[in-house]
Amino acid sequence: MSTTTTQSFTITPLRYALGAIISGIDMNRPLTHTQWKQLQAASNQYHVLIFQGQSLSDQSLFDFATYFGDVFIPPADVPVLASDAQGNVPSVVPVSNKQGGHTGNVELHPHIDHLWTPRPSKASFLYAVQVTQDGGQTTWYNLQKAWEALDTKTKKQIAALSLVTYNPFLNEPGEQRPLYRDNNIPTKGKGYEHPLVLTHPESGRSSLYLSADTEVEIPELDNEAGKALIERLRVHTFSSEFAYQHQWQVGDVVWWDNRSTAHARSPFPSEQIRDLRRVSLAGSRPV
Ligand code: OGA
Ligand code: MN
């Protein structure tokens, strides 16, 4: 695939399963309607859009992101990253190992943001203020390609199944939970049920709508069959064949679609500072 110049900016697709670099957009400037429409189309086609050399305040990141929808607000009783004791979440979340930030320096396994809530966010934007010399790369996986690559028999078998995802933010710090529901271990609060195969509300394409290591359950199957199926789908999905790994530079903004991608992060040395800001947009109930 080669570079396309639209009326208003340039799209350079990455030579990976997803992602494109967008150049010619200064996020501090107002978008035109044409740019807005073309960016939405690019997001549906490439799933991960990379903007470079931006210089943004929290407010200007928020202002740009909300051209594409309202910010994500979870129900007060459903904790997510950065929830306070009342269940409120800031609009701009510091994803940072600095004081007051979230996620520290640890590895984050492949996940879809807010999948354990009743209306997971449709998209997220991460802006890099400070990056590390080592580690801290973010990897995105194309969940539409993961679906498309399944054999016909598996597609038929899973097309109408549901998936309950349990909330990892209800766990005690450091608590290990099973990766598939175990009836001998009590659940931590309510899980929310969504289709295992999501139809993208804008493009109509199907995705495998699954994270790598949160506790899940397929209500239509007995535990043994459900567990074996989920293990197989996870191995299939979280493979380099469907992935792009991003090496962050200061000034990068990455916009990803949570309905067609999952993402993971490599760990990094605790003595190095990584300071990113995230805005997540509200999504509709998955169907
Ligand atoms: C997130 C997240 C990954 C990273 O903010 O949702 O998963 O690379 N971050 O920090
Ligand atoms: Mn995330």
Structure confidence by residue, pLDDT tens digits, 73-114 = 999 999 999 999 999 999 999 999 999 999 999 999 999 999
Atom of ligand 1 nearest to the CA of 278: 5
pLDDT for res 2: 74
Ligand closest in space to the Cα of 248? 1
d(C-alpha 199, C-alpha 205), whole Å: 5
Q: Determine the distance separating the centroid of ligand 2 and the alpha carbon of 138, expressed in angstroms.
A: 10
For the segment 238-274, what is each residue's pLDDT rounded down to a tens digit? 999 999 999 999 999 999 999 999 999 999 999 999 9
Atom of ligand 1 nearest to the CA of 126: 5
Banded pLDDT at 7 (limits 50, 70, 90): low
d(C-alpha 71, C-alpha 59), whole Å: 13
Q: Which of 102, 276, 279, 280 to mutate to test the pocket of ligand 1 (most atoms within 8 A of CB)?
A: 276
